[in-house]
Structure 1
Amino acid sequence: MKTYLAVDIGASSGRHILGWLEDGKLKLKEIYRFKNGAEDQNGHLCWDIDRLESEVTDGIAACETVPESVAVDTWAVDYVLLGKNGERICPAVAYRDSRTETVPDELEKTVPFAWLYGRTGIQMQKFNTVYQLAAQKKEMPDVFEKAEKLLMIPDYLAYRLSGVAVNEYTNASTTAMVSAEHKTWDKEIIARVGLPEKIFGELHKPGEALGGLTERVKEKVGFDLTVRLAASHDTASAFLAVPTKDENAVFLSSGTWSLIGVELKAPVTNDESRAQNFTNEGGYEYRYRYLKNIMGLWMLQNMRQELGDENSFDKLTELAQSAADYKGRIDVNAECFLAPKNMCAAVKNELMKQGFKEPTVPEMLSCVYHSLAESYAETIKALEKLTGKVYTSLNIVGGGSRDEYLNKLTAKACKLPVYAGPTEGTAIGNLIVQMIADGELASVQQARDVVRDSFEIKIYEP
């Protein structure tokens, strides 16, 4: 029996999940889990990339049997730079760091967003890689004289496993520096930002084999296996695991971020799409993930910490339901919720700005739950207008698919049936890519059929 290992790392945690096919069904086993989080390093919010590397190899060593292959997926937009000897020459600054605060406005004359969107189809987010690189160039101009290669975070972790440094397409597409039409780095954008073209390597497809483990890693884990490229942007992997039967379904990858959209065969880069701030991210087999980023469970995760970890998410739901009739709503994508010092205070301030009296904790929670659900509904309406299609269901994967209260509110707000599950959508998508590459699965559609037959999918009617 062949097994495959998915290393799936999110903003708050990472996990190693073994997957295999048994009697036509996909089986999963979590073998390792670790915490993640950005922390202050010399005035910047950074990822502890050395610790992440160590956790990745420790998780591989935890395998009791040797998998056929391993692949790594993470979040998007963040990167490191390598020097001439393959060494990392800059910290892994996190996207929530404030260094890009003024960069989009500063670049508007030379890299106007309307022009940038027309070429890349990537939505405006002040932390997009193009703006991060411009911020680094402003702060550390000398680093680009030493840089030989740019690697996104999962590219770097795969490099540290295999010794092979390449750029994977789906994650690279989120940088706002890849041509939506040609699916290659856009040299004109690179030139306008003033970056060295040599650091941007050829883009490689998910599923490609990089080779075996380096001698250093083999010595640590005790065996060898093939390192493959996943669809290394976690949303690209998560979308592969959506067990949809047709093209009339909206996908929602629900976790720290809520990424809601559809798969398209061609990008949509017109003015109306730009005004609605939809993004065209690269997907597996060059599908386009036409979607919108919504702040997601990040808000509830922070509120839970501030209210005390003894308050489980079930407790938060109970509190929110006790104030279900509260009318206050907020724009969950407002910048004040990106990295506030205190999320509860940020929610409270926004509500009081609108003229509401100081809200109670249950009222704040009810507000966030309802605002998220209504944001999903508004996004689906916009999708229908922009694509000219009518969608008949919403399919939720990821950790947020377990939130029954949010699922019920979402079904009601969207006036669509909601299909929730599987929870480990991102890891499943990672495994699917490996299994297709190794011939265990024939196609994405077969994989989705297997997922539908293998996991419980809960249905919430509007």
Structure 2
Amino acid sequence: MMKRHQFVAFDLGAESGRAMLGQLEDGRLELRELHRFPNRTLYLDNHLHWNIYYLFEEIRKVLQDCRKNSLEITSLGVDTWGVDFGLLDGRGNLLALPYCYRHRSFPEAMERYFRNYSREELYGLTGIQFLPFNSLFQLYSLLAENPELVRSARRLLFTPDIINYLLTGKQATELTIASTSQLLSPFSRKWLPELLDRMGLDAAILPEINQPGTRLGRISGWLLDDGLPEIEVIQVASHDTASAVAAAPGEGQDWLYISSGTWSLVGVELPEPVVTPESFAANFTNESGLGRTIRFLKNVTGLWPLQQCRRVWSRSGELSYEQLVDLAARARPFQLFLDPDAPDFLHPENMVEAINNYARRTGQKEPADSGTTVRAILESLAFKYRLVVEELSRLTGRRFSTIHIIGGGSRNQLLNQFTAEATGLRVLAGPDEATSAGNILVQALAAGLLGSSQEIREVVRQSFEIKEFTPVEPETWSEPYRDFLRIIGK
């Protein structure tokens, strides 16, 4: 019988953060939420920022409670969203709050950067999908807006790295989060200093890259004096999607994953990157995963439009996600088609108005009510999944039978069923806390309690309920899918 070991996962997302206690015993993992807190951007000096010190304070409070409650914790790990970073000066001080990836100046910076490299050249080097908020373009944008700040930087750290640095005093990054930056080669898994050279920056600001499962060090002494426990900090797969995919309960070669939340990451796990003219044209990305795997995927806007619509509707009365999904289930199908990735929906002041404007712009009727709006969001997301699945099959030569939907969005049973109908594939949903599970099980790997990524997935299969959704009437989705493709210009 295996002794019980306890770990803490800090999973920080764009909407909220959570601390999860994981108890691993006899090959089964139990999760218990210790704390949940909102995460919001700050609008300062005409820029969107993350309040990293607020996030750290929430983490500090959780760890103080662990010590007060005499919880025996083996280690902790931090995962966050990708691409965003902070800059440190030579004394190790953060020069400014990290910028948020939804900042409006990044698309222009991306286009300007292509004067240094063509799109084809840059993709050939990095294998990364072109998104205007990739770290490379953020850095280029900041250099134009605030050159003194950028040139005074001596270290760049990504969001989870900053938290780890505040906890341990160690400045280092980890492969999965570094791979989101478009500053890394997917072949060598090393930095590409020439990308910074072209903008006149010293690549020495880029930190050491560690593998997921690296034991970074123990919590700093001054934090122990502040009531924190003396526990080890592990660099887990610190990009939240990488942690989630590590906990996808897939078997064999015929499955793909959708990490479903604010964003939907639709992809497959491969041994080597796919960097071809075809993957470039389809705008697919090659990010690193656990065990030196490649997460070959496409970023799709996920439940963000629904989240933002709910925020608008809550001004005139609170509606739960369950109520909104129930309204959508009763609404007429296929009344409106949206491209979830249209620029209209990136960061509008009012998402409901943005959807109405999009409907008018594309020659469609505005949705009559909130149920129709939500149904349009979910149907369109399922159709976008189908498009990406078809592209994945073409680019990898693989045929898929199963989609594993993991993460918080896997709780949306209507979207799960729509995905099965739109793709014609079996959908297995869960675990909904895949990111925290992956975070904790990589800590267990670092502790020597598990031996491989396959053992991690076996623990997941033994520990969590996985719900199955099968297509019932997929043929009724074929003609609307063609209408969807026409509306989005495919």
Give deviations 1:146-191, integer Å, cap 9, x for gaps: 2111000000000000111101111111110101111100011121
* Alpha carbons 2:63, 2:229 under 8 Å: kept: no
Q: Say which is worse superposed, 361-370 or 122-131, in terms of deviation.
A: 361-370
Deviates more, 1:213-222 or 1:386-395: 213-222
Given candidates 36, 40, 50, the residue that maps to 1:37 is: 40
Between the aligned partners of 1:39 and 1:413, the Cα distance in structure 2 is 38
Is the counterpart of residue 347 in structure 1 residue 368 in structure 2? no
Candidates 183, 186, 193, aligned match of 1:187 = 193
2:90 paired with 1:87? no
Q: Who is 1:151 aligned against?
A: 157
Tell me, what secondary structure is at the counterpart of 1:430?
helix
Aligned residue for 1:73? 79
Match of 2:116 in 1: 110
Structure 2: how far apart are the matches of 1:56 and 1:221? 12
Whole-angstrom CA distance in 2 between matches of 1:354 and 1:81: 42
Unaligned ranges ≥5, structure 2: 472-490
Task: Report the counterpart of residue 161 of structure 1 in structure 2.
Answer: 167
SS at match of 2:250: coil
Identity among equivalent positions (%) equals: 40
Detail structure 1 runs of 4+ shifted over 4 Å in the superposition: none
* Preserved contact between residue 5 and residue 25 of structure 2 (Cα < 8 Å): no
Note the alpha carbon deviations across 1:241-285, whole angstroms, 9 max, x for none.
Answer: 101111211111101100010001111111111111111011112
CA distance in 1 between counterparts of 2:365 and 2:438 reads 45
**Aligned position for 2:485:** none
Q: Within 1, Cα distance between the matches of 2:246 and 2:381?
A: 23
Residue 59 (structure 2) pairs with residue 59 (structure 1): no
Which SS does the other structure have where 2:95 is aligned?
coil
TM-score relative to the length of structure 2: 0.92
After the TM superposition, which residues 290-309 of structure 1 pair with which residues of structure 2 at under 5 Å, given as runs?
290-308=296-314
Letter in 2 for 1:358: E
TM-score by length of 1: 0.98
Separation in 2, partners of 1:219, 1:35: 27
Contact kept in structure 1, 2:142 and 2:150, CA below 8 Å: no
Q: Is the 8 A contact 1:32 1:62 kept in 2?
A: no
* Aligned equivalents of 1:218, 1:298: Cα separation in 2: 38
| Cα distance, 1:356 vs structure 2 | 2.1
Residue 365 of structure 1 aligns to a residue whose secondary structure is helix
Who is 1:381 aligned against?
Answer: 390
Aligned positions of 1:25-424 closer than 5 A? 25-63=28-66, 64=69, 65-308=71-314, 310-361=318-369, 362-424=371-433
2:226 is paired with a residue whose SS is helix
Contact 2:427/2:469 (8 A) holds in 1: yes
Give the C-alpha shift of residue 114 in structure 1.
Answer: 1.4
Q: Which residue of 1 aligns with 2:463?
A: 454
The whole-number CA distance in structure 2 between the counterparts of 1:422 and 1:120 is: 31
RMSD, aligned α-carbons: 1.1
Verify the 8 A CA contact 1:111 1:193 in the aligned structure 2. no
- Relative to structure 2, which stretch is displaced further, 184-193 or 404-413? 184-193
Q: Which is worse superposed, 210-219 or 410-419?
A: 210-219
Distance, in Å, in 1 between the alignment partners of 2:228 and 2:11 is 21
Q: CA deviation at 1:322?
A: 2.4
Secondary structure of the corresponding residue to residue 15 of structure 1: strand
- Of the structure 1 ranges 413-422 and 28-37, higher mean CA displacement relative to structure 2 is found in 28-37
Which stretch of structure 1 is more off in the superposition, 231-240 or 98-107? 98-107
C-alpha distance in 2 between matches for 1:130 and 1:373: 30
- Number of residue equivalences: 462
**SS of match in other structure, 1:369:** helix
Whether 1:9 and 2:12 are equivalent positions in the alignment is yes
Aligned partner letter, 1:326: F
The residue identity in structure 2 corresponding to 1:282 is: S
Q: Which runs of 5+ in 1 are unaligned?
A: none
> What's the CA shift for 1:225?
0.4
Partner letter of residue 424 of structure 1? E
Secondary structure (helix, strand or coil) at the match of 1:102 reads helix
Once residues 353 and 412 of structure 1 are traced to their aligned partners in structure 2, the CA distance between those partners, rounded to angstroms, is 28
Once the two structures are TM-superposed, the CA of residue 90 in structure 1 deviates from its matched residue by 2.1
Mapped to 2, the partners of 1:188 and 1:387 lie a distance apart of 29
1:111-166 CA-partner distances (Å, limit 9, x unpaired): 22211111111101001100000011111111233211100000000000011110
